[in-house]
Amino acid sequence: MVNTLKERKQDFGFMTRKYNWHEITGNTRKYNDTPLLYMHLNGQNNFEDYNEYGYPFGGWEKPTMKGYENKITCEINMAANIFSDTK
């Protein structure tokens, strides 16, 4: 699927948690040129937890985005994300 998206020049990225990336891919690093939105719902709008346990995952040195909070307000599910300066 990744190769097809790249061949067709489609924008895409990965949304995952560190644990899930390890479990599903064995911590592959072959997609580290793809944007990463990692989820860590700790309420902190920073990337200080990205190197949790002393290392990044999947070969990404720096994520593109972090999902840090989900909450329901007036029966509306809202997600809070932060973007990094990846340039």
Q: What CA–CA distance (Å, rounded) separates 84 from 1? A: 26
What pLDDT score was predicted for residue 86?
57
What pLDDT score was predicted for residue 24?
96
What pLDDT score was predicted for residue 21?
94
DSSP alpha helices (H): ranges in 1-87? 2-7, 18-25
What are the extents of the domains in the chain? 19-27+40-87
Q: Which residues of the chain have pLDDT under 50?
A: none
What pLDDT score was predicted for residue 84?
86
Q: What CA–CA distance (Å, rounded) separates 3 from 48? A: 31
What pLDDT score was predicted for residue 59?
93
Q: Nearest-CA neighbor of 80 among 49, 35, 42, 52?
A: 42
What pLDDT score was predicted for residue 79?
86
- Would you state the structure tokens that stand for residue 36, as one six-digit string? 């990463």
21 and 58 Cβ atoms separated by less than 8 Å: yes
